[in-house]
Structure 1
Amino acid sequence: MSPIITGLLLVVAVSVFAITMSGRAGVLLAMKKENRLDHIPFRALQLLRFGLGQKRMVDPEEFTPGLMHVFIFAAFMVLALRTVMLFAMGFSETAFAVLTDLTDPFWTGKEPLLAVYRVYLLVKDVAATLAVLGVVYFAFLRAKVRPDRMTPSWEAYLILGFIGGLMVTEFLFGGSHMVAQHARDSAAGGFMWWEPTTSMFGLGMRALGETGAHYLGLAGFWIHLTIILTFLNFLPKGKHFHIITGLPNVFFQRTNPNGKLGTPNLEKEEFGTATVKDLTWKQGLDLYSCTECGRCQTHCPTYITGKPLTHKGVNQDLKHWLWDHEQWVEEGYSPGGHGVKEPLPEIVGSALKAETVWACTSCGWCETACPVFIENIPRLIDMRRYQVQVKAEFPPEIQRVFEGIERQGNPWGIGQDRRDEWAEDLALPTWGDGGGPYEYLFFVGCAGSYDDKQKKVSRALVKILREAGVSFATLSKQEMCNGETARRMGNEYLYQTMAKMNVESWNGLGVKAVITQCPHCFNTIKNEYPEFGGEYRVINHTQLINDLLKEKRIKLSAVMNSKLTYHDPCYLGRHNGVYDAPREVLKAIPGLEVVEMQRSKREGFCCGAGGGRMWMEEHIGTRINHNRINEASLTLKHAEDPSTPFPDAADKQKPGQVGDYKEKGGTGVVAVACPFCSTMLRDAVNDTGREEHIKVKDITELVADALVETKSGGPATVTPGPTVSAKPE
């Protein structure tokens, strides 16, 4: 071919690419250090499953576009070797002859090698063909279907053109050699099984004659190389940067549980994220890796209800700020007037608005849906930490929450001396009172102790535990808030104070296992307390009840004939993977007809209370809990009358429209397993005027109502039965 032209193209393209990448890499190097080289075997396995294997791309809600993306990804992986071959052909006539003509003398006596090469050509041809199918599909999807999650973009069409161009020029280049072979030998150059699509192009190109086919193939060759090098330099400038950074981002994903936040060292004045320099290099890599696919929006409660937050938007805003100010970030300051160096501007106020940072409910959908494992929640919580602990700028209504936890050990600020009023007539044993030993500490939680509705759940759980003969005790008035609310509101100092105090107390009492009735308590004690020395076996009440039913330590009778739908708590389901236990418990209650909402299990829709939002007002858009109760109402109505229109919750053009249902709807029960969800959904029932149609009940209440009592219900110090343990789901 032409070594000079090939070399010139390479030198220019690689030089420009190196200059661009030096700026991108310089930003990452200027960010905070973070160790992401632990647990190498786990990371390697995740890379194989989710990076090279593209497992998340074919999740059920986006299976077809995910499959098409897999086709394109596979083509890039397979054609990477072909690209090397094409550049070798550009530099060497010998390589050109050997790689394009399988009758070349080089292949004589090398039948095994020739067979391997033919198999590669077959795989290459099939992969390229499927990639063209993927390009056509995505062009149609963007031009005609126009999914809500996909932002209209000329860049997307350009990239699709690049990808399609690479595949077509490969076919044209190969087809021209088949025409030449046919001209030399009419018995050759026909259909070849190892290059089926290329053969079809070759057969079509015969009409151009040998000369015409030669020049078309030559044009295909140079266009192919030019597209590759242009594509290479376009990647670091747009959303397709993920082609370079996506696989590393999957490898460097966090290895701790999804619901666990990092613990900053407050003694070293790690008070949160103020500027982009406070982001870690991994958080910077997250920004580079955002594909802007919009999967994070499909079931995002803030996006669906019109709040000023989409995680795709946050990633875009921060990424472009970084790219526009690379030199500032690398040098650690911004140029002020008269040559004076000034600190970098704070993220909140320059790249992001305050209401964006405070809108997140930390439900975890964005991280569950993201195919490249971007960690959105920890980054936003770090920004809240700075706003609270340094700037003292936060929604005013949460001031009383902080004061309540500080002064009375609970976010309501109700007197600590009233913490055990809910159980005054139950004669519950107190851990450390000289009784026992006890198998479980029943951590009642703030809601279970102070919220009138949740007190009933606490009493119902005691009834079940006693009937099953479970040995347990509470901390009575000594119980304190676990601090979860404070942490997710950004008050890390207050959280760590509560966590250290609780761990020291519990360890001193010899606590080994903890029962919780709140998923937020469950997640915090299970996943976050170990960092403070709190290593406990933690079981959620739905898991415990399910185990008791399976072990036949409690029996249920038919007490109701009702339709019921279950709402997944985010911190029980998505963050901790507990989906089956609550449903198995509900199905064990005779007389209940359980119907699923469309947005359930891993796709469950948030009630709006997580991330500290339980204590904040919603001033923008529609209320998240209204959207959810609308869906529950529609679900119950559809179960009564299947002719009731039931729109697709994941509709590509209008996601979440099941939450737009405004009628009174069907009659039945919405089962919950979280005090926050209970409060939010009960409020939504009242706000939407459905009090006569829908009742919100915790699973524990339903079980207690159906319980066949065979014991006298004496004190909880009865001899325990077999050890009950949480089973992974």
Structure 2
Amino acid sequence: MSPIITGLLLTVALSVFVMIMAGRAGVLLAMKGDNRLNNIPYRTMQLVRFGLGQKRLVDPEEFTPGLMHVFIYVAFMVLTLRTLMLFTMGFSSTALALLSDMTEPLWDGHEFLQGLYKVFLLVKDVAATLAVLGVGYFFFFRSKVKPDRVTPSWEAYLILGFIGALMVTEFFFGGSHIVAQNAPFAWWEPATSVVGMAMKGLPPTVAHVLGVAGYWTHVTIILVFLNFLPLGKHFHIITGLPNVFFQRTTPNGKLGTPNLEKEEFGTATVKDMTWKQGLDLYSCTECGRCQTHCPTYITGKPLTHKAVNQDLKHWLWENERWIEEGYGPTGVKEPLPEIIGSALKAETVWACTSCGWCETACPVFIENIPRLIDMRRYQVQVKAEFPPEIQRVFEGIERQGNPWGLGQDRRDEWAEDLALPTWGDGGGPYEYLFFVGCAGSYDDKQKKVSRALVKILREAGVSFATLSKQEVCNGESARRMGNEYLYQTMAKMNVESWNGLGVKAVITQCPHCFNTIKNEYPEFGGDYRVINHTQLINDLLNEKRIKLSQVMNSKLTYHDPCYLGRHNGVYDAPREVLKAIPGLEVVEMQRSKREGFCCGAGGGRMWMEEHIGTRINHNRINEVALTLQHSADPSTPFPDATDKKKPGQVGDYKDKGGSGVVAVACPFCSTMLKDAVNDTGREENIQVKDITELVADAMEVRRSPVTVAPSAAVSPKPE
């Protein structure tokens, strides 16, 4: 090889790479700080599992493409060491002789090291062969399968060509040495040996030229590839592993808490983003997995997290000097523009339901939701620009402690005849505070769920009390709609009150309340043992404190609430409760558990109008109907879950077929799905029932029953 040419190539390539990376790094350094060096053991474990181990790549819904990506990834990791060897060969003829000839005398007396090297060569050959298989698969995947989540891209084909060429040139380089040494087939280089055997049919000079060409082509591609990485989506090859390491260590459903006293009012410009949020943008692989079950994408809203990441990333790259030094496109110093209006549209930021699918699916742990909520915070708290219909929600929470703005004195009307104990009334001690929630207190349908839960708790002999008229909203909707000040006001008030009363454990019937009190209240001193009603009911069944004896000959499917399932991992308890009800036939929807589809109410969308695209709750109730219909009549056409050309086809079912019950465990989901049943004309076929109601109906009552008193109807949404 040639030390001069090798050195020249390295000098030029590394110089260009450093210049490009200086701009990329400078942008991150100009952003806000974020301590991501806590809990190093956990971060290291996550890096091993999800970064080096590629665990998310082989999730069930994308197993085959994920496996092929793993093949290429492993080859890259192995070829990284091999590349260092190749550059060393370029500088040293001794290294070339030693690393390409197992009969070289320098190996004498070093049999152990030679054995290790042979094992490495075997791993390298197998990995390179599998990478060629992966490259072929992805050429087919992109050109023939054309999955919806994958954006057509010349860059992808170029990179696949680079990867394939790296593997092939490695085989040619090794094969030429087999020819030169007239070596036999070697078990430690099976693929290279096959190529070498084939090259023996060529004239020695031709074989040598192929080997030399293979070497220089290989190292040139490596250096070109290196400089191409920071210019496109394959930047994740550099940033992906660090991004996995620096992932958040807090629960998925927890948002960060800004310091309002330091005027941290949200994200206005890109410099208000943290360096980790910038690294997220750099790390987006554009794989599109975030789209497959995204409710906004499936229903035609102006939001896909892949597109948001690309829009923001390219804005950063096109304006590096502006971000770092303050010089705008005209060459003079000027303030950075706000993100909304320059890189993103307002309707994009407000479309998100915060369902969490994008973050669950992302192989490099990009945190999309906090970034969008930070933008909402600025729009609400500084600009006062937000969907007009949520103004009444803010006012209702602020003035009356609930989003409907109904009188605080009506908070306990749902339980007027139940003689419930009130925490702090001199009774007790009580084991649990039953936090009824705004919907459970005011929404006419959810009041029945509250009463059903009281019936179950009393039958099981659970020690509990409510706050009666003193209960107020926990602030969850306000926070996710960007009104952080109002949320923190409610959170601090609740924590101070509950701590003063000595509350230690809380029962919730709303996953949004559950997530907020469990994951977000601890930052304000509210450390409670929080249990969702489905978990508690499941525990009571397992402890045989309640007995279900009423047979329900009905077909049922269960809708996973996002803030119970994806954000908090509660999937089994609701299903175990349903399976305990005699006669109930439970059938799963195609999009269930971690792949569950949002009802459309999260992220404060419960309180906003939905004018763009099709309604999310309609898509979900269509799937409910199709699931029930297909279960009753298997001849009903049912979309294949492995069909990647159009995601969410189960939500396209428009027929009125399908009879049974859709069970829910969230008041927001209940409202959205009930509305969808009415909107689609399925009132006679499909019932929406909370799991609590089903259990209360099936439960054998040995204590005094709880009657349901009539009450004034309350619209689930403010008019």
TM-score, normalisation: structure 1: 0.96
Q: Tell whether the 8 Å contact from 1:333 to 1:344 is kept in structure 2 after alignment.
A: no
Q: 1:670 is matched with which residue?
A: 662
Q: 1:453 is matched with which residue?
A: 445
1:543 aligns with 2:535: yes
The ranges of structure 1 where at least 4 consecutive aligned residues each deviate by more than 6 angstroms after the TM superposition are none
SS at match of 1:342: coil
Alignment of structure 1 residues 58-73 onto 2, 5 Å: 58-73=58-73
1:153 aligns with 2:147: no
- For residues 475-501 of structure 1, what are the alpha-carbon distances to aligned partners after superposition, in whole Å with 9 as ceiling and x for unaligned? 000000000000000000000000000
Which of 587, 612, 621 is the aligned partner of 2:604? 612
How much has 1:713 moved relative to structure 2? Answer: 4.8
Q: 1:722 is matched with which residue?
A: none
Q: 1:725 is matched with which residue?
A: none
How far apart in 2 are the matches of 1:26 and 1:340?
19
How far apart in 1 are the matches of 2:464 and 2:608?
35
- Paired residue type of 1:32: K
- Paired residue type of 2:203: G
1:257 aligns with 2:251: yes
How much has 1:649 moved relative to structure 2? Answer: 4.0
How far apart in 1 are the matches of 2:76 and 2:704?
69
How much has 1:334 moved relative to structure 2? Answer: 3.1
How far apart in 2 are the matches of 1:468 and 1:81?
63
Alignment of structure 1 residues 492-641 onto 2, 5 Å: 492-641=484-633
Q: 1:140 is matched with which residue?
A: 140
1:266 aligns with 2:260: yes
How far apart in 2 are the matches of 1:110 and 1:509?
74
- Paired residue type of 1:12: V
- For residues 654-701 of structure 1, what are the alpha-carbon distances to aligned partners after superposition, in whole Å with 9 as ceiling and x for unaligned? 010000000012110000000000000000000000001000000000
1:307 aligns with 2:304: no
How far apart in 1 are the matches of 2:92 and 2:460?
80
Q: 2:164 is matched with which residue?
A: 164
Q: 2:695 is matched with which residue?
A: 703
1:296 aligns with 2:315: no
Q: Tell whether the 8 Å contact from 1:466 to 1:713 is kept in structure 2 after alignment.
A: no
Q: Tell whether the 8 Å contact from 2:550 to 2:700 is kept in structure 1 after alignment.
A: no
How far apart in 2 are the matches of 1:353 and 1:713?
54
SS at match of 1:593: strand
Which of 179, 198, 204 is the aligned partner of 1:204? 198
Q: Tell whether the 8 Å contact from 1:295 to 1:369 is kept in structure 2 after alignment.
A: yes
- For residues 429-456 of structure 1, what are the alpha-carbon distances to aligned partners after superposition, in whole Å with 9 as ceiling and x for unaligned? 1100011111000000000000000000
How much has 1:217 moved relative to structure 2? Answer: 0.6
1:4 aligns with 2:4: yes
CA RMSD of aligned residues (A): 1.0
How far apart in 2 are the matches of 1:570 and 1:145?
30
Q: 1:726 is matched with which residue?
A: none
Q: Tell whether the 8 Å contact from 2:27 to 2:316 is kept in structure 1 after alignment.
A: yes
Alignment of structure 1 residues 179-218 onto 2, 5 Å: 179-182=179-182, 189-218=183-212
- For residues 77-108 of structure 1, what are the alpha-carbon distances to aligned partners after superposition, in whole Å with 9 as ceiling and x for unaligned? 11111101100110111111111111111112
Q: Tell whether the 8 Å contact from 2:327 to 2:333 is kept in structure 1 after alignment.
A: yes
User: Judging changes above 3 Å, is the alpha-carbon distance between structure 1 residues 47 and 577 closer, same or farther for their aligned structure 2 residues?
Assistant: same
Unaligned segments of structure 2, at least 5 residues? 708-719
SS at match of 1:645: coil
User: Judging changes above 3 Å, is the alpha-carbon distance between structure 1 residues 682 and 596 closer, same or farther for their aligned structure 2 residues?
Assistant: same
How far apart in 1 are the matches of 2:204 and 2:28?
52
How far apart in 2 are the matches of 1:332 and 1:555?
69
- For residues 107-162 of structure 1, what are the alpha-carbon distances to aligned partners after superposition, in whole Å with 9 as ceiling and x for unaligned? 12221111111111000000000000000000100000000000000000000000
How much has 1:651 moved relative to structure 2? Answer: 2.3
Unaligned segments of structure 1, at least 5 residues? 183-188, 716-729
How much has 1:331 moved relative to structure 2? Answer: 1.7
Alignment of structure 1 residues 209-288 onto 2, 5 Å: 209-288=203-282
- Paired residue type of 1:137: Y
Q: 2:646 is matched with which residue?
A: 654
How much has 1:204 moved relative to structure 2? Answer: 1.1
1:480 aligns with 2:480: no
Q: Tell whether the 8 Å contact from 1:563 to 1:595 is kept in structure 2 after alignment.
A: yes
Q: 1:334 is matched with which residue?
A: 328
How far apart in 1 are the matches of 2:69 and 2:519?
34
1:178 aligns with 2:172: no
Q: Tell whether the 8 Å contact from 2:394 to 2:403 is kept in structure 1 after alignment.
A: yes
- For residues 353-376 of structure 1, what are the alpha-carbon distances to aligned partners after superposition, in whole Å with 9 as ceiling and x for unaligned? 000000000000000000000000
SS at match of 2:507: strand
Q: Tell whether the 8 Å contact from 1:555 to 1:708 is kept in structure 2 after alignment.
A: yes
Q: Tell whether the 8 Å contact from 2:58 to 2:67 is kept in structure 1 after alignment.
A: yes
Q: 1:720 is matched with which residue?
A: none
Q: 2:674 is matched with which residue?
A: 682
Q: Tell whether the 8 Å contact from 1:559 to 1:705 is kept in structure 2 after alignment.
A: no
How much has 1:557 moved relative to structure 2? Answer: 1.1
Q: Tell whether the 8 Å contact from 2:141 to 2:147 is kept in structure 1 after alignment.
A: yes
Alignment of structure 1 residues 421-460 onto 2, 5 Å: 421-460=413-452
Q: 1:721 is matched with which residue?
A: none
- Paired residue type of 2:561: P
How far apart in 1 are the matches of 2:119 and 2:430?
66
How far apart in 1 are the matches of 2:546 and 2:487?
37
SS at match of 2:203: helix
How much has 1:650 moved relative to structure 2? Answer: 5.1
1:85 aligns with 2:85: yes
User: Judging changes above 3 Å, is the alpha-carbon distance between structure 1 residues 335 and 73 closer, same or farther for their aligned structure 2 residues?
Assistant: closer
User: Judging changes above 3 Å, is the alpha-carbon distance between structure 1 residues 335 and 163 closer, same or farther for their aligned structure 2 residues?
Assistant: closer
Q: 2:715 is matched with which residue?
A: none
Alignment of structure 1 residues 396-411 onto 2, 5 Å: 396-411=388-403
Moved more, 557-566 or 431-440: 557-566
Q: 1:27 is matched with which residue?
A: 27
Q: Tell whether the 8 Å contact from 1:457 to 1:698 is kept in structure 2 after alignment.
A: yes
How much has 1:332 moved relative to structure 2? Answer: 4.0
How far apart in 2 are the matches of 1:91 and 1:392?
64
- Paired residue type of 2:432: Y
How far apart in 2 are the matches of 1:436 and 1:713?
22
How much has 1:206 moved relative to structure 2? Answer: 1.4
Moved more, 22-31 or 647-656: 647-656
Which of 353, 359, 380 is the aligned partner of 2:351? 359
- For residues 316-336 of structure 1, what are the alpha-carbon distances to aligned partners after superposition, in whole Å with 9 as ceiling and x for unaligned? 000000000000111246366
How far apart in 2 are the matches of 1:297 and 1:335?
33
How much has 1:558 moved relative to structure 2? Answer: 2.8
Q: Tell whether the 8 Å contact from 1:335 to 1:341 is kept in structure 2 after alignment.
A: no
Q: Tell whether the 8 Å contact from 2:396 to 2:404 is kept in structure 1 after alignment.
A: yes
SS at match of 2:201: helix
Q: 1:724 is matched with which residue?
A: none
- Paired residue type of 2:195: F
Q: 1:727 is matched with which residue?
A: none
How far apart in 1 are the matches of 2:705 and 2:326?
66
- For residues 367-397 of structure 1, what are the alpha-carbon distances to aligned partners after superposition, in whole Å with 9 as ceiling and x for unaligned? 0000000000000000000000000000011
- Paired residue type of 2:520: E
Q: Tell whether the 8 Å contact from 1:361 to 1:610 is kept in structure 2 after alignment.
A: yes
Q: Tell whether the 8 Å contact from 2:149 to 2:288 is kept in structure 1 after alignment.
A: yes
How far apart in 1 are the matches of 2:429 and 2:520?
26
Q: 2:408 is matched with which residue?
A: 416
Q: Tell whether the 8 Å contact from 2:300 to 2:612 is kept in structure 1 after alignment.
A: yes
Q: Tell whether the 8 Å contact from 1:277 to 1:332 is kept in structure 2 after alignment.
A: no
How far apart in 1 are the matches of 2:63 and 2:224?
31
- For residues 41-79 of structure 1, what are the alpha-carbon distances to aligned partners after superposition, in whole Å with 9 as ceiling and x for unaligned? 000000000000000000000000000011011001111
Query: Alignment identity in percent?
Result: 86
